[in-house]
Amino acid sequence: MRKDSTPIAASDSLPNLASNAGWRLEHSYAALPAPFYSRVQPTPVRNPQRVVFNRSLAQTLGLDAEVLDRPESASLFAGNTLPPDALPIAQAYSGHQFGHFTRLGDGRAILLGEQITPDGRRFDIQLKGPGPTPYSRRGDGRAALGPMLREYVISEAMHALGIPTTRSLAVAATGEPVYRESALPGAVLTRVAASHIRVGTFEWAAAQENPQLLRTLADYTLARHYPELAGTQEPYLGLLRAMQDRQIALVTQWLMVGFIHGVMNTDNMALSGETIDYGPCAFMEAYDPATVFSSIDEHGRYAYGNQPAIAQWNLARLAEALLPLLHTEQESAIEKANAVLSEFPRGFQAQWLGGMRSKLGLPDEDDEDLELIRDLLEWMRANSADFTNTFRNLSRGHPNELSTTADPQFQAWHERWQRRLQRRSSSAEAARERMNRVNPTVIPRNHKVEEALAAATDDGDLRPFEFLLAVVQKPFEEPSAGQEYLEPAPQGSPRYRTFCGT
């Protein structure tokens, strides 16, 4: 199938890149029964070019960063050359997209295998945009450079913020155009993930109406992500509960930094608890729970403030898929699932309140905290206050750095907060330190991301991208240079819009 592979890299460099780069790929997913995936080969591209490479991630993975940092590695990261132990597959899955059930699968992604790190962890190595697969149907299986760079920088920003996420090892340009509304430069992203098992994978397995397939997937997922549940009485119910806990924790972390995923379809919710699929995501600037960036999310289904409810909705789809494993009697199975799902609101409320307390530097709990937090958020909403900068400015402790100090309503709130802090004899210094550990200075500001992508794709200039990447990789530092990365989009900028699957 690879006869037509273009010999891009110098022939003597290929063995190095492929075999001596520290690859240690295993294929536990490919050991699942056949219908879970299809064997497929990346389609070679004309002219692979190195665009960006993540040295520190390569090292974590036990890969040789020196070897892979060479320009010839582009042939590997574009899918023209494969590691010797690769077993390329596309995974089958279904999903509810905007509430509607659909058959999907990796239409533009190919899993090369699972890299075993020196400390024994297992990470999927997946090419995104390597050409068509049996699941592509209408699409071309390709990706454009801009969106792949966008995924790279935002996923790395999320990682630096301490939020579980898939990561980005490399982006290689293909030297071929992809045709969207216009011709765009094509690229392949190498995505690294704890796994690519999705809620949609379970929906797909359930739709096969073969309980053995479903059980196989559930056992595989338990072993890979929830080994502590092995040997417990009701492991599949435990799986649902543990997954719910991870999703509550994840969505809470999103909310704490103003992240809007944008396309929380069930196929974009990972059983690992990682953030996955950086299509139309973006960070909120002015606080408003109704904020939506995605151009196709007309009804605000995936708005900032809706994310907890959608996570719960998606977990109900997971629960439905798992029903045959929960009890032989459907009614009893439903009862068990509902008992777990009904824990969501209380679990979320506790996590959210804890997160917001940290953002305000509160070291302990007080019955009035919820009101204190709500009043601040309501003030922020009414005044279109920048989410990131408001919290960071609070911790600076110099009221004159708050552009809003002239507002008596804000002053009143600020005094209440100060009294609350002092009531528990918490020193201002200690509070500030706590706050600075959780309130970022830097998020990937939408207009800075677009600026960097435009320079890279229109002018071939990667410097703004590299500078942005460096800044967002240290999100809790007070940057000495690059103050412009801290500011929201200039007043009067057009409303920011994002796009899916581009």
CB of 276 to Mg ion, least distance (A): 7
CB of 166 to ligand AMP, least distance (A): 12
Q: Does 104 bind ligand AMP (CB under 6 A)?
A: yes
Give the count of residues interacting with ligand AMP (CB under 6 A). 18
Closest CA to 77 of 151, 168, 153: 168
Tell me if residue 301 falls in helix, strand or coil.
Answer: coil
Q: Which of 106, 267, 277, 288 is catalytic?
A: 267
| Contact (Cβ atoms closer than 8 angstroms) between residue 337 and residue 324 | no
* Residue nearer to ligand AMP on the CB measure, 36 or 344: 36
* Residue nearer to Mg ion on the CB measure, 168 or 268: 268
Beta-strand runs (E) in 230-318: 259-260, 282-283
What, of ligand AMP, Mg ion, none, does residue 107 touch, CB below 5 to 8 Å by kind?
ligand AMP
Under 8 Å CB-to-CB from 71, ≥6 apart: which residues? 49, 50
Beta-strand runs (E) in 8-75: 25-26, 37-39, 49-53
CB of 267 to Mg ion, least distance (A): 5
User: How many Cα atoms are found within 13 Å in the side-chain-facing hemisphere of 283?
Assistant: 31
For 423, the token pair is 């009531």
| Contact (Cβ atoms closer than 8 angstroms) between residue 11 and residue 5 | no
CB of 243 to Mg ion, least distance (A): 18
**DSSP per-residue string spanning 341-357:** HTTHHHHHHHHHHHHHH
d(CA 86, CA 124): 11
Closest CA to 176 of 145, 136, 138, 133: 145
Which residues in the 136-155 window bind ligand AMP by CB under 6 A?
Answer: 136, 139-142
Which residues in the 257-276 window bind ligand AMP by CB under 6 A?
Answer: 263, 267-268
CB of 136 to ligand AMP, least distance (A): 4
Burial state string for 8-43 with b = 16 or more CB within 10 A and e = fewer than 16:
bbeeebbebbbeebbbebebebbebeeebbbebbbb
Which residues in the 302-331 window bind ligand AMP by CB under 6 A?
Answer: none
d(CA 467, CA 469): 5
* Residue nearer to ligand AMP on the CB measure, 262 or 361: 262
- The Cα-based distances of 218 to 271, 334, 397 in angstroms read 10, 17, 50
Asked if 4 is an active-site residue, the reply is: no
> Going residue by residue from 269 to 288, which x/- string records binding to Mg ion, judged by CB under 5 A?
--------x-----------
* Residue nearer to ligand AMP on the CB measure, 198 or 445: 198
* Residue nearer to ligand AMP on the CB measure, 173 or 360: 173
CB of 253 to ligand AMP, least distance (A): 21
* Residue nearer to Mg ion on the CB measure, 72 or 106: 106
d(CA 121, CA 114): 9
Which residues in the 100-129 window bind Mg ion by CB under 5 A?
Answer: none
User: Please, what is the angle between helix 307-326 and helix 344-359, to 10°?
Assistant: 140
Q: Interface with ligand AMP by CB under 6 A: which range of 30-38, 102-110, 218-226, 343-351?
A: 102-110
Q: Does 500 bind ligand AMP (CB under 6 A)?
A: yes
Among the listed residues 72, 114, 203, 277, the single contact to ligand AMP using CB under 6 A: 277
* Residue nearer to Mg ion on the CB measure, 127 or 452: 127
Which residues in the 216-275 window bind Mg ion by CB under 5 A?
Answer: 268
Among the listed residues 105, 113, 147, 444, the single contact to ligand AMP using CB under 6 A: 105
- Please report, as ranges, the residues that interact with ligand AMP according to CB under 6 A: 104-108, 135-136, 139-142, 263, 267-268, 277, 279, 500-501
- Please report, as ranges, the residues that interact with Mg ion according to CB under 5 A: 268, 277
Q: Which residues are identified as catalytic?
A: 267
